[in-house]
Chains A and B, each alone.
Chain A
Amino acid sequence: VTAVDRELVIAAQRGDQVAFMDLVRARLDRLFGIARRILRDVDRAEDALQDALVIAWRDLPDLRDPDRFDFWLQRVLANMCIEHARRDRRRYSKLEVLELSDHAARDELAGVVDRDIVDRAFRRLKAEERTVLVLRHYLGYEPAVIAEMLGVSGGTIRSRLHHAHRAMRAAIDADARATAVGGSAV
Chain B
Amino acid sequence: MNRPPDVELVLRDYFADDGFTAPDHVLDVVEERIARHPRRLAWRLRGRPIVNTYAKLALAAAAVLLVAIVGYNLIPGRSTTGGPKPTPTAIPTSAPTIAPTTAPTNARASTPVLPAPAELQGRWLTDIAPDVAILTLTPTNFTISWLGGDSGRIEVEGDQITFRGRSNPECPSGGTYRWSIEGDKLHLEPVGTDPCPFQTEWAGNKTYTRYD
Give A contacts to B, CB under 8 Å. Answer: 15, 17, 20-21, 24-25, 28-29, 31-33, 36-37, 46-47, 49-51, 53-55, 57-58, 61, 79-80, 83-84, 87, 90-91, 102, 104-105, 109-110, 112-113, 115, 118-119, 122, 133-134, 137-138, 165, 168-169, 172-173, 176, 180
Contacts and interface: CB of A to CB of B under 8 A. Distances in A.
B4 A176 contact: yes
Contact of B15 (A37, A55, A80, A180): A37
A42 to B, nearest CB: 8
B4 A168 contact: no
Given A57-B39, A87-B198, A110 B34 contact: no
B167 to A, nearest CB: 11
A172 B23 contact: no
B113 to A, nearest CB: 28
Contact of B27 (A28, A133, A137, A169): A28
Contacts, number: 121
Contact of A28 (B1, B13, B22): B22
Nearest to B40: A15
A32 B148 CA distance: 16
A54 B5 contact: no
Interface string B15-55: 10110111100110111011101010011000000000000
A17 B131 contact: no
A54 B34 contact: yes
Contacts of A61: 39, 43
B198 A33 contact: no
Interface of B: 1-2, 4-5, 7-15, 17-18, 20-23, 26-27, 29-31, 33-35, 37, 39, 42-43, 130-132, 147-148, 170, 197-198, 201
Contacts of B1: 180
Contacts of A54: 30, 33-34, 37, 131
Nearest to B145: A54
Contacts of B9: 110
28 contacts: A28-B21, A28-B22, A29-B20, A29-B21, A31-B22, A47-B147, A49-B22, A50-B29, A51-B130, A51-B148, A53-B30, A54-B33, A54-B34, A54-B131, A55-B130, A58-B42, A90-B197, A91-B197, A104-B18, A105-B18, A110-B9, A112-B4, A133-B15, A165-B8, A168-B7, A172-B4, A172-B7, A176-B4
B131 A134 contact: no
A110 B20 contact: no
B7 A17 contact: no
B30 to A, nearest CB: 5
A33 B20 CA distance: 7
Nearest to A109: B13
Q: Binding site of A, secondary structure by majority: helix, strand, loop or mixed? A: helix
Given A24-B27, A32-B26, A91 B198 contact: yes
Contacts of B31: 17, 21
Contacts of B4: 112, 169, 172-173, 176
Given A33-B20, A51-B131, A109 B7 contact: no
Given A28-B21, A176-B4, 12 more contacts: A36-B20, A50-B29, A51-B148, A55-B130, A57-B30, A57-B34, A58-B37, A61-B39, A110-B13, A113-B10, A118-B11, A168-B7
Nearest to B168: A91
B10 A168 contact: yes
B39 A15 contact: yes
Given A29-B22, A176-B4, A134 B15 contact: yes
A50 B31 CA distance: 9
A89 B35 CA distance: 31
Nearest to A136: B11
